[in-house]
Structure 1
């Protein structure tokens, strides 16, 4: 055995090419059926077959002439694996039905207690997850309320309206950019925030402007 890996790989490549060349000569000159399969030390597959011949045809002829079955043992192993997987699948399906209250007749007292403990723990985990979801939704709603309050206060400051005397309230339209209120004549006013346009407002910079509409 060649210990040096590089030298071993180089030798393998040279000998492989030489062997494949000889196989081709046998197939062409002698009209022989040749099939070669090689696996290197690096687990790479190389093969050479006579023109017009597939590896399966060569294997089938070998099995017929030798009266052997190259795949029988492999087929038996696959059948055994399939049976084991089917058994595992049946067990899992039975466990699922038991957790839904079915197939409990053949369970002993200890098994029923164990199943009960598992169900109690599962319900506990589900409730904790549900509570966490509810808390997250509450926090999100509180943030929206605080955001609307900040917008409300900024609008009051922009109109120089004292907080204790303000008669304006927010209307939630999903974007928090509309306000309804009453003026001194008891008419309903609608205020809407919109981007300022410098060419329409002299001396105004970028930001938001308030447009007032009289509804009633």
Structure 2
């Protein structure tokens, strides 16, 4: 940006940057500076691969332009970019304003809820009118009734659970008792089996001939035809097992 009192130094001396009053000099300066500006725009577009569009109107309304792509396309791109930036700024401002309003609304709700909670606890009720106190009393009673209903529901569920648990424990106890009774019966049978084996052991350990066994009603001395033979005599052996007899034939 040039100021009226600013001076610029070139090869021929200092030139004051201000409007040239003489028309011929102004026209010559315009032509020289215009050509230099167009040259610089061209160099910028080539060296830096930049999209450059230069539009210059003379004092008499003559148009001079330069563009490495298209002046109209570059202008449209410029308009779109400035519009997007403007819309982005406006959208950001609108969002900021909306969030501020929502934050203020939430703060008011938090303050109201905190005040209501304090009043429910009995704090800060001295300044409330009678109508508000009655309304608050009704709210508290309804809340207490709901709390009691929920408490009773939980207690009933706990009682039902304990009853089911009691039935399960009773069944498990009966099952264990039956198992214990079976084990005791098996132990009693095992304890009786050795006594019976000892009782039957002498009978099996001393075999006898069945031909020598006679019934009790036939135990009479028989008669023999031979005179050199003595009758059969019954001999009792106290060492023999019970319910058994030994017969001995004695010949002379």
Give the TM-score, by structure 2 length: 0.36
Higher strand share: 1
Q: Which has the higher helix share?
A: 2
TM-score, normalising length: structure 1: 0.42
Larger Rg: 2
Determine which structure has greater relative contact order: mean sequence separation of CA pairs < 8 Å that are 6+ residues apart, divided by chain length: 1
